[in-house]
Chains A and B, each alone.
Chain A
């Protein structure tokens, strides 16, 4: 057993209001630079929808992630030893800027400088890449709030396996639905981007699992861009280096939550440490699709188990981190309550960002001009929800409904329970029945309720002590590091070697 710690995340989709504050916070801090205009390390997508870059989930086109063929061990789908040489000058599965979008601004000066005329002056859109006028045709959230859009929502790769009727429902009035999916780098346990890099520029930090790109080592191969199935590494066309979400590690190291977490209006984001067994990653990544969710959970270790604590200590994990892992909200959501699920684990990168599946409005019948929201009782059954179960299963359960159904059922049970507690118009027996069906105790339901609805800053972000002074020992002598702090030059990344 090789115990390591990972800073992991939970996004509670039921709370996301799709305000994009996280995206803007990230953009302002990290990617408001030349060459990075088109990058959104954090973006928010409307689902069903094709996302950013367009149809990133369609791996038949993008060839991202790992591929398992038969009994053979998993392989990177976009590249490989034999494929590197024939594609040495051109990586074939690279999204173009058009698949992201061409970033633009507006000619605001025209509003002030335009000659007097019959019409109001306007601010024309101007490409941030070429400086020329552009016709805006796409954006990072182009299908924002467009449930049922015939181009984008109708071509969501997650609709696979849905019946024709279900698909039609998704675009009909009073039945269509959408929810939001905020996305950042998943800081995976089995990162395909790291595995694909020919220069060895990508690495996963041993002490906290954050996946980073060394800007000095990056040689612009862009293998990571093609390999990441979530399309969360981006190529900076100005510096000639690839970039990605760094989980705001400079903020984490100083005890602050990452910018997108900190700014989240809906307080949907949770951050905490998980302990995992690094020796079993390969074994789990090779499991069949329907065992992947459970397999990944089996990698995550119980931080309260004295045996695990002892082994973690001997593996060099500081007590402060173990203590932080015991308070981790992520551990509760993923392991104790099993509410949070990894996105598209069938890509086999074992993402360490988990999503709590969203509850959705009840289906309605349209009768003439009247929409009848069919409802037996106060809360509708999860199977009557507008988002088909199969859709969520494709997104969060590798196509299998079981884990999604469990998570939604438990959320529903918590609502029944709290309604009985706070309003009292539901009798206790009904609430208890729902709790029993959802495999949930009253204590657990109360705890879920508190961490979902009444959570404070400290509840949501249990940032472990980073012990940089110890982590740096792996690379250099701490006294030397200390003595040199402030010396030298910090240069921006430059094109070339």
Chain B
């Protein structure tokens, strides 16, 4: 019930209070909302609320349970498959088939939780893996926990026993790249050709040797030698199917690249291999200078736009007529 301020008017105009029978309010459907605080105390209403809470709880449990079964494979698909297969051979990272036999679970869990840390700690096996991957470190899997790591290892173990794992990886075509592929890949890289699923063009975050300064973003690494770094066609294609870094994953999770687009991009990346990467230091100076130039231009442009704006009237008048500036 709304509080009423006791102004003199309110005091004198207080009407006969209405009968506050809660039952009556529940029976009249239109009144229930208005009188909820009063009605909550009644047994009938309390019963209704209890039922509602129970239904919510059951629904919540059901939803949560249904998601448990599908959770780990999805996670593997989104975060691991860009570099790893199970029984499909090496991509950027090693084939994970029977990985639990090669190394104990404790080490694997530690590595999963902080790959960079283990590599930097000087662990010889981790170092060997790092070199095999041509110094591409494994990114920390997004949202990894000890519990999730255990589930992942369970999954890998289970899949390893199968003849053909669902994570064997995509079959990459072996047809040679054509000039058309390369041109299309460059168009996709530059964003002149839009990605079918609406993903962001590579140039937003990455630079490239044959794109001039300010032409590429600085958030991601230079892509000039990416073909070589990720060990060729198959691993690079696999990476592009589901990019695994924390930055790229959320972008491409809902806007995946098509296999044709991947093929074109890989063709383009292959063509730029072995060239010196773009010089980003020059880009930064150009960026700074063009920013300054833009600011100066903006100041003069706005000043000319508002040249008739209002200045001080009195001071301008006095200074103009006395021929002296303000002391």
Interface residues of A (CB under 8 A from B): 50, 53-55, 58, 61-63, 92-96, 98-99, 101, 137-138, 150-151, 154-155, 480, 483-484, 487-488
Report yes or no: B314 in contact with A61, Cβ–Cβ below 8 A.
Answer: no
Tell me the B295-327 residues at the A interface (CB within 8 Å).
Answer: 306, 309-310, 312-315, 317-318, 321-322
| A94 and B310 contact, Cβ closer than 8 Å, known pairs A483-B12, A487-B8 | yes
Given A58-B313, A61-B310: 19 more A-B contacts, CB < 8 Å = A50-B317, A54-B313, A55-B313, A62-B310, A92-B306, A95-B313, A98-B315, A99-B312, A138-B314, A151-B321, A154-B321, A155-B317, A155-B321, A480-B9, A483-B9, A484-B7, A484-B8, A484-B9, A487-B7
Distance, CA A93 to CA B7, complexed state (A): 44
A residues near B8, Cβ cutoff 8 Å: 483-484, 487
- Among B306, B313, B314, B317, max chain A CB count under 10 A is at B314
Report yes or no: A53 in contact with B313, Cβ–Cβ below 8 A.
Answer: yes
Distance, CA A244 to CA B249, complexed state (A): 63
Distance, CA A150 to CA B315, complexed state (A): 15
Distance, CA A487 to CA B10, complexed state (A): 13
Distance, CA A483 to CA B312, complexed state (A): 52
Distance, CA A50 to CA B9, complexed state (A): 53
Report yes or no: B310 in contact with A92, Cβ–Cβ below 8 A.
Answer: yes
B133 to chain A, nearest CB (A): 55
Partner pick for B314 among A93, A98, A154, A483, CB 8 A cutoff: A98
Report yes or no: A54 in contact with B310, Cβ–Cβ below 8 A.
Answer: no
B residues near A63, Cβ cutoff 8 Å: 310
Distance, CA A154 to CA B322, complexed state (A): 12
B 1-27 to A, binary, CB cutoff 8 A, 1 in contact else 0: 000000111001000000000000000
B314 to chain A, nearest CB (A): 4
Interface residues of B (CB under 8 A from A): 7-9, 12, 306, 309-310, 312-315, 317-318, 321-322
Closest residue of chain A to B13 (Cβ to Cβ) is A480
Report yes or no: A98 in contact with B310, Cβ–Cβ below 8 A.
Answer: no
Report yes or no: A61 in contact with B313, Cβ–Cβ below 8 A.
Answer: yes
Partner pick for B317 among A92, A93, A151, CB 8 A cutoff: A151
B residues near A94, Cβ cutoff 8 Å: 310
Report yes or no: A92 in contact with B309, Cβ–Cβ below 8 A.
Answer: yes
Report yes or no: B313 in contact with A151, Cβ–Cβ below 8 A.
Answer: no
Report yes or no: A98 in contact with B317, Cβ–Cβ below 8 A.
Answer: no
B residues near A151, Cβ cutoff 8 Å: 317-318, 321-322
| A54 and B12 contact, Cβ closer than 8 Å, known pairs A150-B321, A151-B321 | no
A117 to chain B, nearest CB (A): 27
10 contacts between A and B (CB under 8 A): A53-B313, A54-B313, A55-B313, A61-B313, A62-B310, A93-B310, A99-B314, A101-B314, A483-B9, A484-B7
B residues near A480, Cβ cutoff 8 Å: 9
B residues near A483, Cβ cutoff 8 Å: 8-9, 12
The dominant DSSP class at the A interface is loop
B residues near A92, Cβ cutoff 8 Å: 306, 309-310
Closest residue of chain B to A488 (Cβ to Cβ) is B7
Q: Which 8 A-B pairs have the closest CB atoms?
A: A54-B314, A151-B321, A99-B313, A93-B310, A54-B313, A99-B314, A487-B8, A55-B313
A residues near B317, Cβ cutoff 8 Å: 50, 54-55, 151, 155
A residues near B313, Cβ cutoff 8 Å: 53-55, 58, 61-62, 95, 99
Distance, CA A94 to CA B9, complexed state (A): 43
B residues near A50, Cβ cutoff 8 Å: 314, 317
Closest residue of chain B to A477 (Cβ to Cβ) is B9
B residues near A95, Cβ cutoff 8 Å: 313
Distance, CA A237 to CA B317, complexed state (A): 25
A167 to chain B, nearest CB (A): 14
A residues near B321, Cβ cutoff 8 Å: 150-151, 154-155
B residues near A137, Cβ cutoff 8 Å: 318
Distance, CA A366 to CA B47, complexed state (A): 107
Distance, CA A63 to CA B12, complexed state (A): 52
A residues near B310, Cβ cutoff 8 Å: 61-63, 92-94
A residues near B322, Cβ cutoff 8 Å: 151
Distance, CA A61 to CA B311, complexed state (A): 8
Distance, CA A95 to CA B315, complexed state (A): 12
Distance, CA A488 to CA B7, complexed state (A): 8
A residues near B318, Cβ cutoff 8 Å: 137, 151
Distance, CA A315 to CA B318, complexed state (A): 53
Closest residue of chain B to A54 (Cβ to Cβ) is B314
Distance, CA A484 to CA B8, complexed state (A): 7
B residues near A55, Cβ cutoff 8 Å: 313-314, 317
Distance, CA A53 to CA B9, complexed state (A): 46
Distance, CA A484 to CA B317, complexed state (A): 54
A residues near B306, Cβ cutoff 8 Å: 92
A413 to chain B, nearest CB (A): 40
B residues near A155, Cβ cutoff 8 Å: 317, 321
B262 to chain A, nearest CB (A): 47
- Among B8, B309, B310, B312, max chain A CB count under 10 A is at B310
B residues near A101, Cβ cutoff 8 Å: 314
Closest residue of chain A to B314 (Cβ to Cβ) is A54
Distance, CA A101 to CA B314, complexed state (A): 9
A residues near B12, Cβ cutoff 8 Å: 483
Report yes or no: B9 in contact with A96, Cβ–Cβ below 8 A.
Answer: no
Distance, CA A72 to CA B130, complexed state (A): 77
